[in-house]
Amino acid sequence: MAHNGTAHPGHATRRGVCLVISAPSGAGKSTIANALRASDTKLKHSVSVTTRQPRPGEKEGVHYYFRTMEQFEAMAQAGELLEWAIVFGRGYGTPRAPVEQALAAGHDMVFDIDWQGHRQIREALPGDVISLFVLPPSLEELERRLHGRGSDHPDEIARRMAAARDEISHWQEFDSVIINTELDRAVAEARSVLVAGRLLTRRQTGLADFVATFGA
């Protein structure tokens, strides 16, 4: 019997995992997601659609798909986005087709999105999502990290801090929660969440055939 997904000697075929990482701005979700991808070739990045202008060095289809607001709204209305939101006047969303194709082929995807995006993706792909929320050690440390970026105006930092309190209030909606006190430890804990998600019985679509080889 043929199955979608990846297969390795001594391992059952499995369907890909959607690892959703959410956190208030400055808590480290993007840094953790990037560290996971850098150390795991099986983990693919979901390239988002955005209506904001490209920053220096950003490439179409690599960092983002850059679209006008009109194009973005048309994609949302056509059901071409798994999740989407308007954040500070800019549209952000996840194209549906590449994600569904990757999961069927057994590739894992990582998303660094907000709690609203997590809700939408879990509703669209209820059996595929493993979610992780990243908390800062404190609000004071979060604000210090935002100031440390050196790229945001004080008014922008104040807005992000206000949004952080709302974001944090949704922590109980996630499968796992870590506190990013020390980055290496946070990355290791996030990796453990991913590995556990890969080993869930429901993800291993070829497990029955594999077990049958033992006569069980």
Tell me the binding residues for ATP.
23-30
User: What token pair was written down for 1?
Assistant: 């019997």
133, 195, 202, 105: CA torsion to nearest 10: 100
Answer for the pair 3, 112: CB distance below 8 angstroms, yes or no.
Answer: no
| CA separation for the pair 135, 22 (Å, rounded) | 9
Nearest to 32 by CA among 19, 16, 41: 19
User: What token pair was written down for 96?
Assistant: 């549906």
Residues tagged in the binding site annotation: 23-30
